[in-house]
Amino acid sequence: MGTALVTGGSVGIGRAFAQRLARDGYDLVLVARDKDRLEEVASHLRSRYGVDVEVLVADLSQRPDMVRVADRLADSDRPVDILVNNAGFGLRQSFLGSDVEDQEQMLEVLCRAVLVLSHAAAGAMAGRGNGAIINVSSVAGFAAMGTYSAAKAWVTTFSEVLAGELRGKGVRVMALCPGFVRTEFHQRASINMSALPHALWLDAGTLVADAMADLARGRVISVPSLPYKVLSLAARYSPRPLVRVVSGDLRKRRGR
């Protein structure tokens, strides 16, 4: 089938993408900071699906590590057919309530890494005339809920711009905008999500299946599940003052 590179590939949405792509017959390059977890996932996928899995330990908030991943994407001798820019994390604290270094680190991973890795992948893919880039964004990007929300808004718009630039060159680009997914994301950020209705939680495997279906359809923005389609449309077409008020209320309920 080819090779797919997944950042943040050891847990959560990234691991679900890795499993789906391995099941589809893709060899994998898995990128994350935790070598032990990466090796565990790689071993499982090799034995279950019979695919080759390369482990690339990298912290995408560190620019030398980011360059190593970009170089792997640009390697013409080992082409990557699908890039999934999934790595990311959130901060519980408000903008002024957190250290600016933490905010900068988050933007390095959520924005700069997406830009740098997409540039490397898109150049190589356009030269071959085929490929796909999936940038994992969020429905939070349609709201106004802190720096994370702002970063995801950038990812979605950037994906639209890149999709336009690559139109007719055989390379598909899609921003995946999920809602709340059952992963370690909120636990790691110490965000209390106990009040969220059960119906708004998404399963990572189902999310990835929906995303791959939307990629095959040529969608540039994918918002899986009907509730989040409705919520994202409401956020995108409501007056921005209303969006800011509702977003502020949600932040307060989450203790931010």
**Which conformational region is residue 243 in: left (phi greater than 0), alpha (psi within -120 to 50 degrees), or beta?**
alpha
DSSP-derived letter for residue 144 is: -
Residue 36 CA, chain-centre distance (Å), reads 22
What is the CB neighbour count within 10 angstroms for residue 207? 26
Q: Please write down the long-range contacts of 100-104, taking CB distance under 8 Å and 24 or more positions apart.
A: 103/147
Choose the catalytic residue: 10, 61, 118, 137: 137
Backbone phi, psi, residue 101, to 5°: -65, -35
Q: Which of 26, 49, 61, 148 is catalytic?
A: 148
* 3-class secondary structure, 55: strand
137 part of the active site: yes
Q: What are phi and psi of 133, to 5 degrees?
A: -125, 125
- Let me know if 194 is a catalytic residue: no
The active-site residue, picked from 152, 222, 228, 247, is 152
Question: CA-CA distance, 119 to 156, in Å (whole number)?
Answer: 15
Say whether 148 is catalytic: yes
Cβ proximity of 135 and 83 under 8 Å? no
Amino acid letter, 12: G
Would you please indicate which residues are annotated as catalytic (active-site) residues? 137, 148, 152
